[in-house]
Structure 1
């Protein structure tokens, strides 16, 4: 590994960034005692790990998930460890489902303190394939990724603005936070995954847009941006082919969520937390979001290699089945990002 690459995966953060080690992620966890945390998509993966971690600090957990069995199992795990939790079925793309989730929190625990719109999916349908009806006209495209990853998040955040202040005592400075789940795709688009890239770019943009306003209301907001993690969102073939690329540990992602929600310094609101590999968390302060950063990323990544991968994939699709094609594409994109991560980091702090 080159010296540059090694510096990225070490505990030393690039200039302008802040490296956060594992033992620092939970240093303010005691502030979460008796706080009410709403988290969607906590039946498994990152959401489940985060829910259990929050509960370990005495937070009261309210879970919304389509997977009721998995959500109830998370609740059982928390209760078995002495914590408090409840769950209900929730389709995050349905407004009424989300309202009922927030109402459950108020009815059962009296308040809402932290909101984590964690539910998300990959890109199950190809945006690049135009399907025609019997008359030869293009059919309306389904956009499940946008509905879950963006519309669902917007619903959660919109509701959070109201419910975070319900039953709030006057003249107090309580812990109130919204933690969004982005991706490395929030920074660099994944070719052939346009709706996923668009949704995750939007989540980061949402955080940046709301930060100045929410800060005036005493509400923290942050965005967690992990690389590929070993969760249900990764299909098994992709996990196999990703062998050799360090995945971001799920417990570390959960730790970043807790850190972002519980830190007492108002200056840490509006920050992005980036987890590019199996190394430490990097905090990107709001002042490091420089004009032209996306242009720099676009120019400094090895675009030639990406274009070659796309052309190669176009030929492959004529030969292999679609599921295998999707896995190959995802692996190719993951490797492009991984092996060019030093350039990515150099660009981010210019």
Structure 2
């Protein structure tokens, strides 16, 4: 693996001037940050998003800064709406140079938890697969065609997808999300050879949890104290993966496992070191979750024993005394 420091992520920024960037889900979060970053360096932005109000707001920001942008309401699970997004790019700017299928959602259902109606199991909610897999496949299929329009070998042409740490490690209670992000990594690896033959770059960005709306509040609380991946760095990784002119890095995975630098994992080198990095990160998260569970149980037991609710300060004081007494008991027992 090779680390890419922040001051290198934009080193090929001159390549994006007047290029046309099509990005889904750019009304907020990582997509918004990415759109603004490309626009800052002279690219023309086309956004497709269900949140058309938010998308228009981002286009307004781009135009206020002197850039060019357009948007269209787009449900990525509807193929014709994605066709309209690409048609907008061609009609307005004449080409498509970089495509970022960014739109995605978190877990929408639960494997192993059946709902029943009239005594019969109800079909599970598969929106996560519909958006994160089917929607991306639609975008990729269209990108495969439109990126070849008005294209000469050596031009900047790129397809950069959004994976996750869940592309490498399964997340309990987020089974469909894990499936979707494993699928994106597999899709990239299958595409890189045929796309490279056409002079088109492809890659997948794998951030750890970032502070975006896709992360539920309950998960953010569980992650309290663990550094999240900065959104600006995720956008920088997308930018670098798209603009790097060296085809030796084509088909790579770009990891952001914490609040540190971006790591490039060259194609076919997804070996033990990568899985160890992800495992170490997952273990720290698991330790945090266990700690949160311990204190939740402790507070619940204190409430039950004392028979009344406590103020936060009261809980902290009692918890400290209990912890101190427990340590003394354990020390006495061991000695």
Q: TM-score range by the shorter chain?
A: 0.7 to 0.9
**Segments of 4+ in structure 1 off by > 2 A?**
235-241, 289-302
Kept in 1, the 8 Å contact 2:257–2:278? The answer is: no
- For structure 2, the residue ranges without an aligned partner over 5 or more in a row are 301-335
Partner of 1:280: 261
- For residues 94 and 28 of structure 1, the distance between their equivalents in structure 2, rounded to whole angstroms, comes to 34
Measured in 1, the distance between the counterparts of 2:190 and 2:65 equals 38
* Cα displacement (A) at 1:100: 0.4
Shift of 1:83: 0.5
1:199 to 157, 180, 203: 180
Whether 1:143 aligns to 2:113 is no
Q: 1:224 to 1:130 in 2, by over 3 A?
A: same
Aligned to 1:326: none
Aligned to 2:324: none
For residue 293 of structure 1, report the CA deviation from its aligned partner.
Answer: 7.6
Shift of 1:235: 2.4
Tell whether the 8 Å contact from 2:23 to 2:101 is kept in structure 1 after alignment: yes
1:242 alignment counterpart: 223
Which residue matches 1:107?
91
- Which secondary structure does the structure 2 equivalent of 1:180 belong to? strand
Report the count of equivalent residues: 292
The structural deviation recorded for 1:241 is 3.3
**Which residue of structure 1 lines up, in the alignment, with residue 143 of structure 2?**
160
Match of 1:331 in 2: none
- Cα contact 2:206–2:253 (8 A) shared by 1: yes
Q: Give the secondary structure class of the aligned counterpart of 1:286.
A: coil
**Are residues 1:128 and 2:115 paired?**
no
How big is each residue's C-alpha offset from its partner over 1:321-344, in whole Å with a ceiling of 9 and x where there is no partner? xxxxxxxxxxxxxxxxxxxxxxxx
Cα displacement (A) at 1:231: 0.5
TM-score normalized with structure 1 length: 0.78
Match of 2:29 in 1: 45
Instruction: Show the counterpart of 1:11.
Output: none
Q: CA deviation at 1:299?
A: 12
**Greater RCO between the two (CA within 8 Å, min separation 6)?**
1
Q: Which residue of 2 aligns with 1:29?
A: 13
Query: Post-superposition shift, 1:291?
Result: 9.0
SS at match of 1:208: helix
**In the alignment, structure 1 residue 90 sits paired with structure 2 residue 71:** no
* Structure 2 residue matching 1:149: 3-state secondary structure: helix
Secondary structure of the corresponding residue to residue 173 of structure 1 = coil
Alignment of 1:75 onto 2:59 = yes
In structure 1, distance between residues paired with 2:274 and 2:6: 28
Per the TM alignment, residue 141 of structure 1 is displaced from its structure 2 partner at its CA by 1.6
Contact kept, 8 Å, 1:128 with 1:192, in 2: the verdict is no
> Which stretch of the first structure deviates more once superposed, 285-294 or 171-180?
285-294
1:54 aligns with 2:23: no
**Per the alignment, in what secondary structure is the counterpart of residue 192 of structure 2?**
helix
SS of 1:221 mapped into structure 2: strand
- For residues 294 and 28 of structure 1, what CA distance do their matches in structure 2 show? 30
Q: Would the alpha carbon gap of residues 92 and 300 (structure 1) be closer, same or farther in structure 2, given more than 3 Å must change?
A: closer
Q: Secondary structure at the match of 1:178?
A: strand
SS in 2 for 1:115: strand
Shift of 1:190: 0.4
Query: Contact 2:25/2:49 (CA < 8 Å) preserved in 1?
Result: yes
Q: Are the aligned partners of 2:257 and 2:281 in contact in 1 as well (CA < 8 Å)?
A: no
From the superposition, tell whether residues 18 and 298 of structure 1 become closer, same or farther in structure 2 (CA, over 3 Å): closer
Q: CA deviation at 1:162?
A: 0.5
Structure 1 residue 23, shift from structure 2 partner: 0.4
In 1, Cα distance between equivalents of 2:214 and 2:281 = 29
| Structure with bigger gyration radius | 2
- In structure 2, relative to structure 1, the CA distance for the partners of 1:299 and 1:45 (3 Å cut) is closer
Q: Where in structure 1 are there 5+ consecutive unaligned residues?
A: 1-16, 320-350
Q: CA RMSD in A?
A: 2.6
Q: 1:131: Cα distance to partner?
A: 1.4
Which SS does the other structure have where 2:87 is aligned? helix
